[in-house]
Structure 1
Amino acid sequence: MPRPKSEFEELYPCDFYEPDELLDSDSMYSVYEIARLLQGLDPDAEIDVETEDILLDWAIPWIMVNADDLVVAEPPSEEEPGYYGLKT
């Protein structure tokens, strides 16, 4: 159910990082690392599974929207995710 804006103490702009603001041009990142970076966390930060699932909800659409600026690499093994980096 929608809620009135007046119910919230503060509203923030919905700004997201541009790929070149978030990613190092010489590195490749898993979707999990990108999810952490989008929240201002270290890519290796330890977080619980529930939080990681929520962060992925932000990271996956961000990757899709910015796909034209990214490259993708095959995962090192079948058990690992693929890696994304800046298109140079």
Structure 2
Amino acid sequence: MPVPKTEFDDVRSFDLYEPEDVLDDDMLYTIPELARLLQGLPVDAELSDFNESVFIDWAIPWMIYNQDDLVFAEPDDDEVVGLYGLAET
């Protein structure tokens, strides 16, 4: 059900980070790590399953939107789907 904005003291603008503002040029990250970075958290921050899921839901569209600025590699570890980082500019 929609909620009136007036019920909240803190309604903020919706800002998305540029990839180079979040990612290290020389590193590749998993999607959960990217999701944490986009929230201003360390890549190894402990999150509940719910929070991690929500953060990942935000990270994937961000990755698609910024696809021209990103690269990926397939890791040797079968437990990791992919690693993502900045494209060389």
TM-score by length of 1: 0.91
Q: Is residue 8 of structure 1 aligned with residue 5 of structure 2?
A: no
3-state secondary structure, aligned to 1:33: helix
5+ residue gaps, structure 1: none
Pairing of 1:1-88 with structure 2 (within 5 A) = 1-88=1-88
Where has structure 1 moved over 3 Å in runs of 4 or more?
none
Measured in 2, the distance between the counterparts of 1:2 and 1:22 equals 32
> Residues 20-76 of structure 1: CA distance to partner in whole angstroms, max 9, x if unpaired?
000000111110100111111100112221211111111111111111100011132
Aligned length: 88
| 1:77 Cα deviation from its structure 2 partner | 2.6
Q: CA RMSD in A?
A: 1.1
- Identity over aligned residues, as a percent? 51
Judge which range, 76-85 or 19-28, deviates more.
76-85
